[in-house]
Structure 1
Amino acid sequence: MKHYVVDKLNIVTDYMRSAETVSIKVMVKAGSRYENETNNGISHFLEHMAFKGTKTRTATQIAEEFDMIGGNFNAYTSREKTVYYAQVLKWDLALAVDVLADIVQNSIFEPEEIQKRKKVVLEELAQVKDTPDDHIFDLFQEKLFPNQALGRPIIGTEKFINSVMRQDLIDYIDQNYSRDNIVISCAGNFDDKEFYNLIKEKFAFLPQSRKPSFEHATYVGGEVRVEKDLEQVHLTIGFPGLSYLDQKFYEQQVLAVVLGGGMSSRLFQEIREKRGLAYHISTFSMSYADLGVFAVYSATNPDSVNELIEATAEQIKLATDSITEEELKRAKAQVKASLLMSQESSASRAERIAWHYAVYGRIIPLEEIIERIEAISIEDIKSTLLKILLNEKLPTVAAIGRLKKLMPYEDIRAKFTLC
């Protein structure tokens, strides 16, 4: 793996001799938490405009060029980044870089195309609201961080989507798309010198030194309930967790697997296999630059929701002093396997090295990550879980469905309180 700088633009590469593909990621360190209440949703809207015409290509020409080489070109938005990417056969590297550079630097945002995208994004928003196992996570995020950038939905609001103008998009790019706020990665079978020269030539027009900042978040917690006539109650319960910059970050990852990360996990065995309360239950963590969240999600019929909560709380509290070496060994194996299996994909490798450099300022070697995972002990896992459960801040509860039988918030809070 290599890192080099092209006129303040950070480039990271990972050569894969046996690969037939090459993946390029243009990672902009700006996502929905870099927005404000007025323009919430603009990062996501830009993603939708990414392939809709540039100064040198029409939207149709872009689509035809993609199809001609059989490549995968797309973009996505998260709370801390926006990524434009391509995965192509190794001999199509030059075209892929050219198209990505054109999109990032030369998109024209035609008013007519903006109006079309508004309709598409509004339909996407409606689909999210009609899909409870999607919508619940927006509700959950908003209750975690109310009236804050990190709590607002990535997709934005209907009001913003209807009102966004071409100049809004141009202004946002001017504020966020600069050389020192972008990391470009490449993984696969390619020539390093060729890639370096392509980046130097094709990305020559990115502006200098406009590094944006984000609003630091404060965990608040509480509950949100949405009454809806559904067959199931969708439920998420969360607690303050760890940032990806925290030294115990990997301990939180392993803990999530022990509790609800696989078929042998405690919650899967108790909730699904023994009690038959739910088809799906999982624990997960969401980590950001300044803080994190540790949570559990499941769905069950309205008559069983309280039993689900009681059983979940019981299993999580029991884990504070009963995790076994076998459980820990299985969890470590799952985390390591996921990491190592992703190495077979040029797209996954390009994503990993770009993100590492963007947030850590270096590419963390796999050997170092595995060593840190192997070093985790039962006491480390217990300590991390206790830190989560003994936090003085309120748990966060989000529920959608027929909720008349759902126990009060204070009772849910009490179930997860350690005596």
Structure 2
Amino acid sequence: MTAVYHTVTLDNGLRCALLPTRSRVVWCGFGIHSGSRDDPEELPGLAHFVEHTIFKGTIHRRADHIRNRMEVVGGSIDAYTTKDETVVYTVGPRGEMSRAVELLGDLIRHSTFPDKELEPERGVVRDEINLYRDTPSDRIFDEWDERFFRDRSLAHPILGDTRSLDRMRREDLLSYAERTFRPERLLFFVMGQVTPKRFEELCRRYLSEPFPSEVKPSTRPELSLPIALADESPHIVHSRTHQAHTLLGGLGATYNDPDRAAQNLLLQLLAGDGMNTLLNVELRERRGWVYNVEASVTCFPDVGWWQIYFGSDDDHAEEALRVVREQLDRLMQEPLREQVLRAWKKQTKGLALVSSEQSESTFLSFGRQMLLRGRYETLEEYFDRIDSVTTESLMETARRLFAHPFTLIYNGKK
């Protein structure tokens, strides 16, 4: 449970971090503190398109070479984009670590985004956007963001839209990478059975190329907070869906906020992992109104928010929302009994322990923590934060989070 990790900063300013573990595979990745929030206003979705096309060629290798570089040894390469960061990473046999480090360094420093590769990938992303639009349980999250956030950089979808996608040119991708793939925004991170000496040797061999000094790093405009003041009445969108889809949420704890432990407890208690959560019991087990109800939190260094989603028949949507609001009100007005809080703490810590045994999630969590705050929290430290939550502090956090939820409903009634 003790997370002993090793860090080094190269002469070019690049931060590198190693989490040693006992494993016959090694995970390697680049975290870039740049996501859809950094899209130019006229090109929403650019960060996501860069993530897709970074594999399409470098000054050293073609797209087919990139695809095969890890797969021919049984490994793989992947990437994802959020509103706040982008991650490109590999997994492969421990003996192939040098292959992974060299490949990732080449992608981050030397991607060329060749024109002949952009059109086919534009079609892939267009299908991804359309698939998302065809899935109301996904689409409602984007529409909630667009209606809730006053700040445009947070409001637009990570995928962008097809009109913006059609406007993106090779020069836009190169400019974005040049401005954001900078040492102050980058972290190279590794998890596996690797010695610090070997780790530093490979980082210095493959990642120490100087960054251009004449390039100015991009900066983010200050967020226009408060983001949005929600009223009490739901915002209803009439749709052609069989179900009514409901999403409510509001501003929450930021990434380094002391209240984040209490927030995690509250959302786990309401609709986290497990069949015994309050809203799953009330809406599914007792009434049979929903197939699933789920809670999520998003935490960035400067902003955070929480959300609760469920889908139901139109006839039950209003009643189900009433039940959810009743549970939120109860948490704001009545402290949990001590024995109930202890039980939820135990469950929350157990879920964290189980998750820590999942290699990919541990690796990505390690990278995100090192990227955003420069340190990795041990399980013991996280458990201490959970244990410090009291019935009173939990109720106070509930009052800050749940007083005025912003609610969006996709109503399928014609």
Task: Return the TM-score normalized by structure 1.
Answer: 0.91
2:352 aligned counterpart, secondary structure: helix
Given that residues 237 and 396 in structure 1 are in contact (C-alpha distance below 8 angstroms), is that contact kept between their aligned partners in structure 2? yes
Higher alpha-carbon deviation: 183-192 or 211-220? 211-220
Q: Does 1:310 align with 2:322?
A: yes
2:271 paired residue number:
260
Provide the rounded CA distance (Å) in 2 between the counterparts of 1:165 and 1:206.
27
Task: Rate the CA distance shift 1:29–1:220 in 2: closer, same or farther, 3 A.
Answer: same
RMSD: 1.8
1:416 paired residue number:
none
1:101 paired residue number:
105
1:5 paired residue number:
9
1:376 aligned counterpart, secondary structure: coil
1:359 paired residue number:
372
2:189 aligned counterpart, secondary structure: strand
2:218 paired residue number:
212
Task: Rate the CA distance shift 1:315–1:109 in 2: closer, same or farther, 3 A.
Answer: same
Given that residues 324 and 378 in structure 1 are in contact (C-alpha distance below 8 angstroms), is that contact kept between their aligned partners in structure 2? yes
Q: Does 1:333 align with 2:346?
A: yes
**Structure 2: 5+ residue stretches without partners:** none
1:56 paired residue number:
60
State the Cα deviation string for residues 125-152 of structure 1 (Å, max 9, x = none).
0000000111011011111214510111
State the Cα deviation string for residues 190-241 of structure 1 (Å, max 9, x = none).
2322221221221233526754332324321556533222221111011221
Q: Does 1:248 align with 2:256?
A: no
2:257 aligned counterpart, secondary structure: coil
State the Cα deviation string for residues 2-52 of structure 1 (Å, max 9, x = none).
1111121111111113x1111112001100112232121111001111211
1:44 aligned counterpart, secondary structure: helix
1:110 alignment partner, one of 108, 114, 117:
114
1:395 paired residue number:
405
Any residues of structure 2 matched to 1:119-130 within 5 Å, and which? 119-130=123-134
Task: Rate the CA distance shift 1:236–1:332 in 2: closer, same or farther, 3 A.
Answer: same
Task: Rate the CA distance shift 1:109–1:224 in 2: closer, same or farther, 3 A.
Answer: farther
Higher alpha-carbon deviation: 370-379 or 122-131? 370-379
Provide the rounded CA distance (Å) in 1 between the counterparts of 2:43 and 2:202.
34
Provide the rounded CA distance (Å) in 2 between the counterparts of 1:217 and 1:279.
37
Paired residue total: 400
TM-superposed CA distance for 1:268, in Å, is 1.1
Provide the rounded CA distance (Å) in 2 between the counterparts of 1:37 and 1:165.
15
2:395 paired residue number:
382
Given that residues 6 and 196 in structure 2 are in contact (C-alpha distance below 8 angstroms), is that contact kept between their aligned partners in structure 1? no
State the Cα deviation string for residues 388-415 of structure 1 (Å, max 9, x = none).
233xxx53222224156xxxxxxxxxxx
AA aligned to 1:108 is: T
Given that residues 133 and 234 in structure 1 are in contact (C-alpha distance below 8 angstroms), is that contact kept between their aligned partners in structure 2? yes
2:33 paired residue number:
29
AA aligned to 2:228 is: V
Provide the rounded CA distance (Å) in 2 between the counterparts of 1:235 and 1:395.
12
TM-superposed CA distance for 1:244, in Å, is 1.4
Provide the rounded CA distance (Å) in 2 between the counterparts of 1:20 and 1:29.
29
Higher alpha-carbon deviation: 348-357 or 379-388? 348-357
Given that residues 5 and 11 in structure 1 are in contact (C-alpha distance below 8 angstroms), is that contact kept between their aligned partners in structure 2? yes
AA aligned to 2:239 is: K
Task: Rate the CA distance shift 1:250–1:24 in 2: closer, same or farther, 3 A.
Answer: same
Provide the rounded CA distance (Å) in 2 between the counterparts of 1:232 and 1:330.
34
1:280 aligned counterpart, secondary structure: strand
Provide the rounded CA distance (Å) in 1 between the counterparts of 2:347 and 2:90.
28
Given that residues 332 and 373 in structure 1 are in contact (C-alpha distance below 8 angstroms), is that contact kept between their aligned partners in structure 2? yes
1:175 alignment partner, one of 179, 202, 206:
179
AA aligned to 2:377 is: I
TM-superposed CA distance for 1:260, in Å, is 1.5
User: Percent identity, aligned pairs only?
Assistant: 27
1:14 paired residue number:
19
Provide the rounded CA distance (Å) in 1 between the counterparts of 2:163 and 2:382.
43
1:166 alignment partner, one of 146, 164, 170:
170
Given that residues 293 and 309 in structure 2 are in contact (C-alpha distance below 8 angstroms), is that contact kept between their aligned partners in structure 1? yes
Task: Rate the CA distance shift 1:174–1:383 in 2: closer, same or farther, 3 A.
Answer: same
AA aligned to 1:373 is: I
Given that residues 51 and 103 in structure 1 are in contact (C-alpha distance below 8 angstroms), is that contact kept between their aligned partners in structure 2? yes
AA aligned to 1:244 is: Y
1:279 aligned counterpart, secondary structure: strand
2:145 paired residue number:
141
Any residues of structure 2 matched to 1:59-70 within 5 Å, and which? 59-70=63-74
Provide the rounded CA distance (Å) in 2 between the counterparts of 1:36 and 1:221.
26
**Structure 1: 5+ residue stretches without partners:** 405-419
Task: Return the TM-score normalized by structure 2.
Answer: 0.92
